[in-house]
Amino acid sequence: MVSNRNTASSRRLHLNAVIYGLGSHEAAWRMPESDPYASMTLDYWIDIAKRAEMSGFDALFLGDVLALQDEADKHLSSAMDPLVLLSALAAVTTQIGLIGTASTTFDHPFHLARRFGSLDHISKGRAGWNIVTSSNELEAHNFGLASMPDHQERYARADDVVTAVKALWQSWEVNARLADKINGRYFDNAAVHQVDHTGPYVRTRGPLNIPRPPQGHPVLAQAGSSPAGKAFAARHADIVFTVQSSLDEARTFYAEMKRLAAECGRNPGHLLVMPGIIPITASTKKHAEDRINAMNSFAVPEHLMAKLSSFLGRDLSGLALDAPFPTELLNAKGSQASRSRVDALLGIARRDRLSLRQLLMRLASGRGHLLAVGTGSDIASIMEEWFETGAADGFNVMCPVMPRDLQIFSELVIPELEKRGIRGPKSSDMLRERLGLPVI
C-alpha cells in the first residue's frame, strides 16, 4: 500500500485493550480454555493488566452497563464496577492507562470528578473516563425511573455534567498545595475556588476535596455516533470510540470528527478516533478461520436470535436460519438505544449477503466492529492501512477470548506493527502525554 510517511512519522498508532468480561465473543466463557468464574476474581484482572502493559498497550478500557444484561451477554455481567477494578489495577501497574466507564445520567458530577481525580492521583496520571449517557431501559429501572430520558435530554444533561466535572477538576490551581511546614499552611486558599456550577440539570458548589489531578483532566473518551453524540464528542472528548467495519465509512467518520473538532475551535489532532477491531489471529489464516469457527460453534443461536430481535424490534424466531436475511429487514432501524449497532450490523449483512445464521454469528463474534481474521501480518496490514489513510488514530482491540487472544495479539500483531514503524516508542507513562494530548 502507499504509505503516508510524512504524517505517520509524527504519529503513533494507539492501542486500547478493551476487556469485556471473559472476552468480546458471546461464547468466550464456553471455550474449553476459559474459566467461567475467573472474571469475578482480582487475579484475572491483574493478569490481563500486566500482560497488556508488558505488550505496550497504551490503555486498558473497561465498559459498564448498570444492569444485568440479557442471556447472550450474561457473562459480561460478571464485570465488576470499573472504578473499583481500575483502582486495584493502579496498584500493580506503572505505565498502562486505566480508562473506565461511568454514566452522566446516573452519577453526580461531584462523585465523577472525585473518583476519576482520585484514580488519576493514585495511578500518577493514567486515568481516563469513558463518558456514557446510558441507554438501556433496565438501567433506568435500577435507578427508579420508569424509562430512560430521551436521547436529546441525555446528551443535554451529559453536557451539563461534564462541564461541572471539568470545573471541579480546575477548582484547584496547579500549585495550590503549598505543604508549607514552616508556616503551617497546607494549601493556598486563594488558589482553591468554588465553582458555583448551576446548570439546567446539575448544581455543585465546589471546590473539589482533592487537589488538581496530575493530568489536569483525566483523558475523556466517548462513543457518540448520533449527530448529538458526535457534537458532544467534538466538544469534550479526547478520544472517540466508534464501530466501523468498512474502510470507506471509517474514513468518512474520521474526517467528520476532525472537522467537527476544528469547528469547536480545537486542534483536530487532539481528538483521537479509535474504531474497534476484533482480531482473530493465528500462525496461518486457516488456523485463524478454524478458531473463529470453533468460537461460533459455542454460541447459542436462540440467545443471539433474541438479542437481534430486540435490536430490530421484531420477532425473528419464525425465520429460517439458512435462508438469505429478508430484504425488508435489511432496512430496519433499531430503537434509540441500538440504532448505531443495528446500522453497523445490517450494513455488514447487506455487503456480505449474509443469511440469518451468518448474521447471528457476526453478532456473536464481531458485534458490528471490524472483524479481522488472519495472521499477525494480515491484521497489522489492515491496521496500518486504516491508520495511514485517514480512518483511525488507533484501535480498541477487543480480543474474543481472554487472556489467550490478548497474548496471541501481543505476540503476533504488535511486533508486526512495530516492524512497520507505526508504533514508535512511548513518550511518557502519563496517559495524556502518551497519547499526544495536551495536559490541561
Ligand X SMILES: Cc1cc2nc3c(=O)[nH]c(=O)nc-3n(C[C@H](O)[C@H](O)[C@H](O)COP(=O)(O)O)c2cc1C
- Residues of the shown chain interacting with ligand X in the complex, contacts defined by CB under 6 A: 63-65, 101, 132-135, 223-226, 229, 241-243, 276, 340, 396
DSSP state of 175: T
Q: Which is nearer to ligand X, 113 or 243 (CB)?
A: 243
d(CA 134, CA 128): 18
Q: Which is nearer to ligand X, 79 or 380 (CB)?
A: 79
Q: In 353-440, where does DSSP find H-type helix? A: 356-365, 376-388, 404-412, 414-419, 431-434
Closest approach of ligand X to the CB of residue 154, in Å: 8
Q: Which is nearer to ligand X, 158 or 356 (CB)?
A: 158
Q: Which is nearer to ligand X, 103 or 215 (CB)?
A: 103
Phi first, then psi: what are they for 312, rounded to 5°? -90, -10
Q: Closest CB to ligand X belongs to which residue?
A: 229
Helical axes 339-352 vs 301-312, angle rounded to 10°: 110
How many C-beta atoms lie closer than 10 Å to residue 362's C-beta? Answer: 22
Closest approach of ligand X to the CB of residue 233, in Å: 8
- Return the closest-CA partner of residue 278 out of 28, 12, 95: 28
Closest approach of ligand X to the CB of residue 184, in Å: 46
Closest approach of ligand X to the CB of residue 241, in Å: 4
d(CA 311, CA 335): 7
Cell of 106: 446516573
Closest approach of ligand X to the CB of residue 274, in Å: 8
Closest approach of ligand X to the CB of residue 231, in Å: 9
Cell of 428: 511518557
- Find how far residue 410's CA is from the centre of its chain: 19
Closest approach of ligand X to the CB of residue 4, in Å: 25
Considering only CA atoms, give the Rg of the chain. 22
Q: Which is nearer to ligand X, 208 or 243 (CB)?
A: 243
Closest approach of ligand X to the CB of residue 104, in Å: 10
Closest approach of ligand X to the CB of residue 337, in Å: 8
Cell of 278: 476484533
Q: Which is nearer to ligand X, 188 or 343 (CB)?
A: 343
Contact, 25 vs 400, CB < 8 A? yes
How would you class 327 by CB atoms within 10 Å of its CB: exposed for 0-12, middle for 13-18, buried for 19 or more?
A: exposed
Closest approach of ligand X to the CB of residue 151, in Å: 6
The verdict on whether omega for the bond into residue 403 sits within 30 degrees of 0, i.e. cis, is yes
Cell of 139: 438501567
Q: Which is nearer to ligand X, 107 or 173 (CB)?
A: 107
Q: Which is nearer to ligand X, 53 or 64 (CB)?
A: 64
Q: Which is nearer to ligand X, 273 or 417 (CB)?
A: 273
d(CA 295, CA 317): 23
Amino acid at 200: P
Cell of 154: 441525555
Under 8 Å CB-to-CB from 133, ≥6 apart: which residues? 103, 104, 105, 151, 154, 155, 157, 158
Q: Which is nearer to ligand X, 171 or 365 (CB)?
A: 365
Strand ranges (DSSP E) for 41-147? 59-62, 97-103, 127-132
